Structure 1
């Protein structure tokens, strides 16, 4: 049947199972938005306050579901406003398709109004991108974009479509989504080598990364840990990839990881890394990381082998498939003394924040109360900073895709848009965005989106009137010279929320924590909670720059 390019785009989105897109209209995407109007009963569209919010919402939708998120923006500034969100998704391997409009083909390259080379701009931060100059290529380009975004090491793909291409007509033929290509799988001798290393080990240590969640390998990881009889640590991106109430779980590893994880990496005789790229926030100092033990790395992306640290055995492929194969070969191991030692460290070094007065509000108590009231089942989204680390430390993530955060890029302003996307994707779950007051000011305009669509996200602001993480570094390493990290903003958060048509609550004393959280959770509408905390509450443990992950700072 003959359809316009814009209609072909809609049909291809439906082919891929897309039910929701996030975006903002403009001149170059007028034809696309006319088609969105036509398809409004088949595809839900959420208009955000800013294109960056649309990219983050598509990201939050993807992270919380495993499906590919979709965002749409017009040419020029609309497209460039997506860039931070695309880069955020790229750094954390999140599947996303960003669709941008551009000026008509006859105006390309002429510095036309709202023209920009968005494919050139985004080349370093996408898995692939396309400029569709011929309508006959449009349908298969969209299909390829989804295939690339959602297979292998996942990530964002951008499709730029000139306005006249969306207006042209062409024959549309429906197709089922392209089948995913079969990925690499290690040779049999690699498995034999791995089994020999696992058999010899008396103190094995499993470190899991975001690839565990991307591959949906959490069941296989749990079985592997039980068969190997080993402790499990995780990266920031793998929160919930292993049940954190399980006795084997010992917390995060890295700059703000637990001391138990630090002692485990210091004393283990084998490190098995699953779905992780060994980022600098984990290694801290690559020259001092796990130098005493062999390392097995299970990873889907060849580029991550020996990039940040040398490993002894590389196993390239899908984490779920590799772990399942290992589980079928691995006999039950027993490491009673090692696991008893781990349990002793956990008892000796719990994560504890000590209040200076009876009514002081401590982030730990706020998050542990939230955990209890939600039965560990809420989706927690975060901005970036101290509150991000506290969330990972103190909320017990029991299942995957319940922690949504910008890890690799560390994007302040990510959380509220991502929370909106996660809530739209999971209407039956409670979604809470944990924010710092610094991050909140970057994208608080998206409160208008939550209010307009009555998206019942809870915006919980840890308000300490400082840029807490940067200030913490200034306190430790810059002689307490707090250059531009004391905010002293006069923002009235309660009045601001009310201006957007949103209810607001305040927590300023410890006794208010549980009553306020209960009230907020009982509502089925967007809520802002202004939670006052002391600016001198720090994130601990902490490994200083250049330090060894095995020797974190435990107190300040």
Structure 2
């Protein structure tokens, strides 16, 4: 059956499977080896990394990323990546080994080695989870998995294959047809009702300060080109979520960057001036909606999303356009063109003026050579070397903010990968494995940016990058601490500093560790060393690590900067009861989103 499963994966256009073999899945690996190099397996060092690699592959290709693990301890490593894909609507197929079918009573509490109820375990964090009951059922399960993973709204599907089914021979005449439309996501596209499109176009025509908030759904629908064509006509304010970065080039005069507490000061300020918010492929999450303070009173709203459950989840839209993002934008653009709707020159001038003032400050921040080195200065070196074929991968926490603010998207399309479905540390290096596999065909580099905390989560996967000679530049912003948590403790818990410090003396030495694993390892302490370090990394035909010692007091969160500069704003003591603590934290979160930004 392993041969059959490998063949079906190949028929669905699968080029790479990311994972780790086990006894229960060896037949699959045997099948893959017979079909190589048309389909290849990439070994990860930790099963937790496999779905992250598959996730990045899926984001860059639009095809389901595929990963595989064995039963038990392999399976229990998957949830981080599955939840990321589930929340971020990324198509994925996870193949999981299982004990033999007739060992049902022996799974409880590991009576049979490694056994537990895997079906129930995965059920709540996937679009669907199937256990293959027989050899004859496998083709239908695989077809269903690809159909569900790629249909609106895309997401992960788990296929659990019992050991006896995986190892069994299969009939030569067993039919294995595939659904070609399910090779890419979304496999089904549909348009919103034309009456709704007409209502939305009329609302836009009446707006004097329209704004578009573009989310990851724009990339998921491969709609960045049609969105850019529409915005070039309408010239609204355009901001994006982190996942939506690149939906419209940020070089456009009307594009103000990422809307997020970690994002652009211009985006956060200008969005408050809009009279119409068009949420395009964005689920109005906590961060993009600025702790759900958006939309403001008096702002009309249009929502564009293929998932009917998203319309009205956090606010009631004035007009809801339920349909495929790409097709909906095409229809809306046609309606606006027919109605003769044009740009609002006053609004565009206002955006451009405010944006120019803020960009001047960003330029100053990113070119200063003062010590300790600022992460902004490091991002400048990345920005200067990026080419159209390169991809930037953010780890969680502050890395996301440094990239969002200081590396603009120069072209439309998905050139930036963010782990925002769950926001877990340790995403960037495993994701670089998936991205590196894709970029082999283009010659581009994957550039990861992580703090020393995030980098530490997946440092073992550097060996995977080295073994596969992937062109990946890993940038480690080493501030010696879990920066976000350290500042949260300092600001909100009376200068608490508990379990946030990572460095001891000059250790760990991430550049030396990289060198020991076969990568090019470079350590940077001075601004004068940056250019040579990045030139060497981008010239190296393989993976590298650039470890930069940076300022531990630097933060991309605007409100944190204000609080650190204003000691009178610190909280003297936290409340006593659980209820008081919750209320206090909620108020603090709201203040963070509403404060005047630096």
Q: Judge conservation of contact 1:236–1:407 (CA < 8 Å) in 2.
A: yes
Q: Judge conservation of contact 1:462–1:530 (CA < 8 Å) in 2.
A: yes
1:534 — aligned with what?
Answer: 551
* In structure 1, distance between residues paired with 2:19 and 2:455: 21
The answer on 1:364 being equivalent to 2:364 is: no
Q: Judge conservation of contact 2:257–2:408 (CA < 8 Å) in 1.
A: no
Compare 121-130 and 370-379 and name the one that shifted more. 370-379
* In structure 1, distance between residues paired with 2:212 and 2:591: 19
1:312 — aligned with what?
Answer: 318
The answer on 1:514 being equivalent to 2:510 is: no
* In structure 2, distance between residues paired with 1:8 and 1:292: 58
2:353 — aligned with what?
Answer: 344
1:401 to 382, 406, 414: 414
Q: Judge conservation of contact 2:126–2:157 (CA < 8 Å) in 1.
A: yes
Query: Within 5 Å, which residues of 2 pair with 1:78-477?
Result: 78-111=74-107, 112-168=112-168, 169-170=170-171, 171-179=173-181, 182-287=188-293, 289-330=295-336, 331-350=340-359, 352=362, 353=365, 358-375=370-387, 377-397=389-409, 398-427=411-440, 428-477=443-492
1:483 — aligned with what?
Answer: 498
TM-score, normalization: structure 2?
0.88
Tell me the C-alpha RMSD between the 2 structures. Answer: 2.0
TM-score, normalization: structure 1?
0.95
Deviation string for 1:189-247 (max 9, x for gaps)? 21121111011111101110000000011111112212222111000001111111111
2:583 — aligned with what?
Answer: none
2:540 — aligned with what?
Answer: 523
* In structure 2, distance between residues paired with 1:242 and 1:542: 27
Shift of 1:548: 6.3
The answer on 1:43 being equivalent to 2:39 is: yes
1:62 — aligned with what?
Answer: 58
Structure 1 stretches lacking a partner, 5+ long:
none
Structure 2 stretches lacking a partner, 5+ long:
561-586
Deviation string for 1:246-289 (max 9, x for gaps)? 11210111322323222322111111110010001122332564
Q: Secondary structure at the match of 1:136?
A: coil
Runs of 4+ residues over 6 Å off in structure 1: 354-357
Q: Judge conservation of contact 2:190–2:327 (CA < 8 Å) in 1.
A: no
Shift of 1:315: 0.8
Q: Secondary structure at the match of 1:546?
A: helix
- Size of the aligned set, in residue pairs, is 551
Q: Judge conservation of contact 1:464–1:533 (CA < 8 Å) in 2.
A: yes
Q: Judge conservation of contact 1:8–1:172 (CA < 8 Å) in 2.
A: no
2:570 — aligned with what?
Answer: none
* In structure 1, distance between residues paired with 2:335 and 2:591: 35
Q: Judge conservation of contact 2:143–2:178 (CA < 8 Å) in 1.
A: no
Q: Which has the higher contact order (CA 8 A, sep 6+)?
A: 1
* In structure 2, distance between residues paired with 1:355 and 1:482: 31
Compare 267-276 and 308-317 and name the one that shifted more. 308-317
Shift of 1:498: 2.2
2:589 — aligned with what?
Answer: 546
Compare 406-415 and 114-123 and name the one that shifted more. 114-123
* In structure 2, distance between residues paired with 1:357 and 1:217: 39
The change in CA–CA distance for 1:461 and 1:197 in structure 2 (over 3 A counts) is same
Shift of 1:520: 0.6
Q: Judge conservation of contact 1:256–1:542 (CA < 8 Å) in 2.
A: no
* In structure 1, distance between residues paired with 2:294 and 2:20: 48
2:574 — aligned with what?
Answer: none
Shift of 1:337: 0.6
Deviation string for 1:108-135 (max 9, x for gaps)? 3422211222221111111111111121
Shift of 1:550: 6.7
* In structure 1, distance between residues paired with 2:181 and 2:232: 34
